[in-house]
Amino acid sequence: MKVIDQAERLRELAAEKRRDSVEIITVTSGKGGVGKSNISVNLGIALALSGRRVLVLDADLGLSNVNIIAGVVPPPKYNLFHVIKGEKSLEEVVAEGPCGIKIITGAIGINTLANLSPKKRDELILGLSAIPHIADLVIIDTSAGLSGKVLSFVFAANKVLLVTTPEPTAITDAYGIIKAISFRTKDLDIKLIVNRARSIEEGEKVANRIADIAGQFLGMKIDKLGVLLDDPSVGEAVREQKPFFISYPRAKATKCIYHLRNLLENIPEEPQGINEFIKRLFHFNGNHLEFAED
C-alpha cells in the first residue's frame, strides 16, 4: 500500500511540475526598428494556431506597442505597471489577442525596475508566478539595445531570437548585443533572424557573416533560424493595425513566419519552472531579489 501511495505521490509531483513549466522565448535586437515586435506578435499567432497557449509579454517598459500590431485597440486599460503596483493580478491585465493569443502590454512610462521597493518587487514576482495558468509559451518582446533590463529578459529565457536586418548599422548592433551576452555566458541559446531581406540569399549571407564573426572573435555559437523577406504587406498591416499574418495570408512575410514556426517546432522544447525563470530574471542579492541594473 505504501508503494502505491508513493507512486501516486510521484505522479502528482510530476503533474505539478508540468503545470509550473513554461517555455520562455525572448525576442530582442541591438537596433530599434528592425521588426522585432512584428515578429513577436505574428510568430506568436502562428504558434497558437499549432495548439500552443501563447502569451506575448511586451517588456518594452517605455514605449509599448505590441497591442497596436496585434490589433488590440484601444489599448488595454490595465498593464504590467498595475501588477507592479499591486493593484491587479496578472490574469486581470491579460488582453485577448487574435487567434487565441494573450497579450500583456508594458508598463508605459516606467524606465527601469531597478529602483522598485522590495514590496513592489514582491508584487511583481507574485504576479509572474501566475504565468503557467495563462500560457505554456511566453514570447517576451524587449526594447532594443543593451540596457540591463533588456539583458535580464535575455538571460532568463530558454531561447533568444535575435532580430537584425541587412543594414550595416543593424548588423553592427546585433553583433554588439552578442558581445554583451558573451561577457556573461557562452552557452545561451541564440537564434538569429534576418528580417527585411531582399532575397533568401541576402539574408543567409548576413546570418553567416554574423555567426562566423561571433564564433571567431567571441567563441559564441549562433544558430541561424531563418530569413523574413522584405514585404510591403507588413507596413500595410501596421497601418491597418492588424497582424499581417491574418490580413495577408498569402504574403511573402506570412510564408516566412510559417517557415520560422515550423523550424521552432522541430527544436525540442526546453520548458522551465516559473520559479526558475523568476530566479534568472532577478538576481539574488542578500535577502531579496533585485532586478539587474542598467
Which residue is listed with cell 516559473?
274
Cβ burial of 197 (10 Å; 0-12, 13-18, 19+) is buried
Q: Beta strand 102-104 with 95-96: parallel, antiparallel or unpaired?
A: antiparallel
Phi/psi of residue 272, nearest 5 degrees: -130, 155
Q: What is the pLDDT of residue 1?
A: 42
- Report the amino acid identity of residue 75: P
> For the ranges 2-16, 36-50, 214-228, which has the lowest average pLDDT?
2-16
Where does the pLDDT of residue 7 fall: very low under 50, low under 70, confident under 90, or very high at 90 and above? low
Contact 167, 29 (CB under 8 A): no
pLDDT tens digits, one per residue of 120-157: 777 778 888 899 999 999 999 998 888 877 888 899 99
Contact 94, 70 (CB under 8 A): no
Cβ burial of 213 (10 Å; 0-12, 13-18, 19+) is middle
pLDDT tens digits, one per residue of 80-90: 878 877 888 99
Domains of the chain: 22-166+231-285 (3.40.50.300)
The closest of 280, 276, 281, 274 to 20, measured between CA atoms, is: 274
CB half-sphere exposure, 183, CA atoms < 13 A: 7
Global pTM reads 0.88
pLDDT at 196 over 60: yes
- Cα separation, 141 vs 27, in Å, equals 5
- Cα separation, 184 vs 165, in Å, equals 25
Where does the pLDDT of residue 111 fall: very low under 50, low under 70, confident under 90, or very high at 90 and above? low
- End-to-end Cα, the chain, rounded Å: 56
